A = this chain, B = another copy of it.
Amino acid sequence: MTDHIYRVIEIAGSSEVSHAAAIENAITRAAKTIRHLRWFEVTQMRGEIEDGKTRHYQVTLKVGFTLEG
């Protein structure tokens, strides 16, 4: 295995459904513009409340992807 170099970025995804869905939204969006996505770690789980109900679920993720060359 050659000596892989990863870049680690931080992204926040949201969803009106659940934190789980917010994670998928974030990774799907990242995959649109970044290749070789390898791993993610959840660093924060938040949400916005309106009229006593959870309106938006938000997660912040660290995402690692291998750098080419």
A-to-B contact residues, CB < 8 Å = 1, 3-16, 18-20, 22-32, 37-42, 44-49, 52-54, 56, 60, 62-64, 67, 69
Contacts and interface: CB of A to CB of B under 8 A. Distances in A.
Nearest to A44: B41
Q: Report whether over half of chain A's contact residues are helix, strand or loop; otherwise say mixed.
A: strand
B54 A46 contact: no
Contacts of A44: 41
B27 A49 contact: yes
A59 B20 CA distance: 13
B23 A14 contact: no
A16 B4 CA distance: 10
A69 B29 CA distance: 8
